[in-house]
Amino acid sequence: MILVKTETGQQVLKDRSVPLSPRQRTAFILFDGKRSVDDVIAAGAGIAREDIDQMVALGLLSPLGGAVADAPAAAGSTEGAPKAGSGRSSQQRYTDAYPIATRLTASLGLKGVRLNLQVEGAGGYEDLVALAPKIRAAVGPEKAEPLDRALYD
């Protein structure tokens, strides 16, 4: 997955309003829309996946062009219904859905802090599926649609 800096992320880079560790700041700069998450991790800056997930949760980074959210839509998905034989493992669904869930819950501001913490604590696909109804209720069905596609298609 390729991540890019959001407008919020660009502002944080300038004004340092969100404290980032030196590792996070270095990795954040490397997300230029050309490097994948794996490339940035392999760059040797000592960044961990959790650090990147935190920056996504804070809304500083997002998938390039909404690639994670838009890819299932191109397949002609049905809303919220599991698709038989989609070929994606539970781990892949979790990997695709986690950044979407963190971005959605982070966008709720203070009222979404607890839900965001629950998402960050989700250890796998089943945990995210259990949280999906709460996320959908908090952000609305339209905004939750990319999450549903990532989880169920």
Cβ proximity of 31 and 38 under 8 Å: no
Count of domains observed in the chain: 2
Domain that holds residue 40: 3-65
Portion of the chain with pLDDT greater than 90, in percent: 8
| Same domain, residue pair 79 and 147 | yes
Sign of the torsion formed by the C-alpha atoms of 85, 64, 57 and 135: negative
pLDDT tens, residue by residue, 58-108 = 888 888 765 443 333 333 333 343 343 457 788 888 888 889 998 898 888
Q: Which of 41, 149, 144 is nearest to 88 (CA)?
A: 149
Q: Are residues 92 and 138 in the same domain?
A: yes
Give the Cα separation of 33 and 2 in Å (integer).
6
The model's confidence at residue 33, banded by pLDDT at 50, 70 and 90, is confident
pLDDT tens digit string along 10-19? Answer: 888 888 877 8
Rounded Cα distance, 40 and 3, in Å: 10
Asked whether residue 70 is domain-assigned, the answer is no
Both 59 and 84 in a single domain?
A: no
On whether residue 60 sits in a domain, the answer given is yes
Task: Give a yes or no: residue 96 inside a domain.
Answer: yes
Last residue of a domain, one of 65, 93, 114: 65
Q: Which of 12, 32, 65 is the last residue of a domain?
A: 65
Give the confidence band of 56 by pLDDT, cuts at 50, 70, 90: confident
